[in-house]
Amino acid sequence: MPNSNRSAAAKILSLNNIEVVYDHVSLAIKGVSIEVPEGGMVALLGANGAGKSTTLKSISRHDMHRNKERVYGYFPRLHERRGVASGYLSGGEQQMLAIGRALMTQPKLLMLDEPSLGLAPFLVAEIFQIISHINREEGLSVLLVEQNAVAALEIVSHGYLIESGRIVMHDTAEALKRNPDIQEFYLGGAKAKSFHDIKHYSRRKRWLT
């Protein structure tokens, strides 16, 4: 009989208090801890410059295996455009190509850095739907580094919020969507504030008090 407790606790990625230092001086990542369960989907959220991509780069690995038919099955458009140089692909096609190249390594963990960047909303929806499909069909764990919290929280199970290089919040996607601070600053749930208002409000955020 399978050990359900062991299965539930299995992690494909476990970061414990990692730090990234630039030029032996600047501490870009400050004690970040993240867990991604096997077959799960977790988001690392945050604004530009918060440390999302630096975190991802610090744990990325680049291996090459061959699996074109599998990739073309998820991205028929890439098969149609297979003779076109990558520089001539559209923004959405280039994102599909990036995900397809990652899948060709037959990974157990797929790490995606801002897949929605620069894309029209309908393309964001399409790509995120494919990512969700890959997660379900392959049982592939996903770490989604994303500024578009609205789209990310629709497909992941849990999320982390990073600010100034620190994890300041971790909860289920549903709980994060209900959190008033997340709604105001990341989900567009309130009227836009001036920079002066945001600076003053940031000192009153629940996770900074």
H/E run at residue 170: strand 166-172
Q: What is the pLDDT, as a whole number, of residue 196?
A: 45
Mean pLDDT of 42-50: 91
Mean pLDDT for all residues in the chain? 82
Pick from 56-60, 111-115, 159-163, 167-171: least confident: 56-60
Cα dihedral angle (82, 129, 172, 45), rounded to 10 degrees?
A: 50
Q: Is it the case that residue 150 has pLDDT exceeding 60?
A: yes
Q: What is the pLDDT, as a whole number, of residue 166?
A: 92
Fold of domain 7-61+146-208: Rossmann fold (3.40.50)
Q: How far is CA 77 from CA 86, 102, 107, 133, in A?
A: 13, 17, 22, 16
Most confident range, picked from 13-22, 23-32, 182-191: 13-22
Mean pLDDT of 166-185: 92
Render pLDDT for 62-88 as a digit per residue (tens, 0 to 9): 333 757 888 899 999 999 988 888 888
Q: Is it the case that residue 185 has pLDDT exceeding 70?
A: yes
- Return all residues near 57 (Cβ < 8 A) that are at least 6 apart: none
Q: Is it the case that residue 195 has pLDDT exceeding 70?
A: no
In terms of Cβ atoms closer than 10 Å to its own Cβ (0-12, 13-18, 19+), residue 48 is exposed
